[in-house]
Amino acid sequence: MGDTMKQKRTGDSAAQFERELKKAKKEKYLLRLYVAGMTTKSKQAIQNIKQICDEHLKDRCELEVIDVFRNPVLAKGEQIIATPTLLKKLPLPLQRFIGDMTETERILVGLDLRPKV
């Protein structure tokens, strides 16, 4: 009986994820990538996030790249303490990713584009 309940919950959560994924495929994403100058690390982060947008959010993503050196007020307002930092502003909830943005799978899960394993 316990296995049946576990299967039902797993099936329910898989079905729920599929419903959420279909809904997400229609939603627009607003992403802000904060970088510090045009360093190698910044360029790599920009390239990685643009690739994710192109492959997984085609025509549904607005990506703003913000250099904290050129716009420190905006960075302070968003409480950016490290770069690169990616903010998913929309759809809610707000998500924050810090690092070089090379962990594509982690970002896709955080953007609700892949199920959590």
CA 107 to CA 105: how far, in whole Å?
5
Place of tokens 């982690």: 106
Number of domains forming the structure of the chain: 1
Residue 117 is assigned to a structural domain of this protein = no
Tell me, yes or no, whether 95 lies in a domain: yes
Instruction: Assign residue 85 the CATH number of its domain.
Output: 3.40.30.10
Give tens-digit pLDDT for 18-37.
666 566 567 899 999 999 99
What are the strands of the beta sheet with 85-90, ordered from one edge?
A: 61-67, 29-35, 85-90, 95-98
Residue 53 covered by a domain: yes
Q: Is residue 58 part of a domain?
A: yes
- Which residue range is the domain that position 42 belongs to? 28-110
User: Which residue, 5, 17, 16, 2, is CA-closest to 109?
Assistant: 17
CB 53 within 8 A of CB 19: no
State pLDDT tens for residues 83-117.
Answer: 999 999 999 999 999 998 999 999 999 998 888 76
**Residue 8 is assigned to a structural domain of this protein:** no
Strand residue runs (E) in the chain:
29-35, 61-67, 85-90, 95-98
Within a domain: 115: no
Q: Residue 1: CA atoms inside 13 Å, Cβ hemisphere, count? A: 0
Residue 52 inside a domain? The answer is yes
State pTM to two decimals.
0.76
